[in-house]
């Protein structure tokens, strides 16, 4: 069972455009929602993360929007650049029970930004 559902699987955006990747979850025990960026041949690197006590977090061109009631969160990349071309994974983790300390990953979105 996929605990975190991510869409789209692939995304092509023109330079300067906005990239939007969406994720949804079911487990209400989740309380930490990070996004990872992965370049070919590299391990995932933490991009930005949010906790459910806020609805939005912005770091530079990257913004997470969080909707607790809908159990959805999304990554927005403003002014997308060719250097942003990578695979993006959303994930979730929690503090209790089977969610304690482990990350549940979405399937990933391959983003291509055309110059």
Partner 1 sequence: SAVISQKPSRDICQRGTSLTIQCQVDSQVTMMFWYRQQPGQSLTLIATANQGSEATYESGFVIDKFPISRPNLTFSTLTVSNMSPEDSSIYLCSVVTGKYYGYTFGSGTRLTVV
Q: Does 108 bind partner 1 (CB under 8 A)?
A: yes
For the chain, list the strands marked E by DSSP. 4-7, 10-14, 19-25, 30-38, 45-50, 56-59, 62-67, 72-77, 86-94, 104-105, 109-114
Q: Give residues 23-62 in contact with partner 1 (rule: CB under 8 A).
A: 32, 34, 36, 41-46, 51
CA–CA distance, 27 with 71 (Å, rounded to integer): 9
Identify which of residues 18 and 45 has a Cβ nearer to partner 1 in the complex. Answer: 45
Residue 79 CB, shortest distance to partner 1, in Å, is 26
Identify which of residues 41 and 115 has a Cβ nearer to partner 1 in the complex. Answer: 41
CA–CA distance, 3 with 24 (Å, rounded to integer): 8
Identify which of residues 72 and 110 has a Cβ nearer to partner 1 in the complex. Answer: 110
Binding site for partner 1 (CB under 8 A): 32, 34, 36, 41-46, 51, 89, 93, 101-103, 105-108
């Amino acid at each position: 069972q996929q605990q975190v559902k991510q869409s789209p699987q692939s995304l092509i955006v023109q330079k300067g455009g906005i990239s939007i990747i969406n994720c949804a979850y079911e487990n209400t025990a989740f309380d930490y929602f990070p996004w990872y960026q992965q370049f070919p041949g590299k391990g995932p690197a933490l991009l930005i993360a949010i906790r459910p006590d806020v609805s939005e977090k912005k770091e530079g061109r990257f913004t997470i929007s969080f909707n607790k009631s809908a159990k959805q969160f999304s990554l927005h990349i403003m002014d997308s650049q060719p250097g942003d071309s990578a695979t993006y994974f959303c994930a979730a983790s929690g503090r209790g029970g089977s969610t304690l300390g482990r990350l549940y990953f979405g399937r990933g979105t391959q983003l291509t930004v055309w110059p």
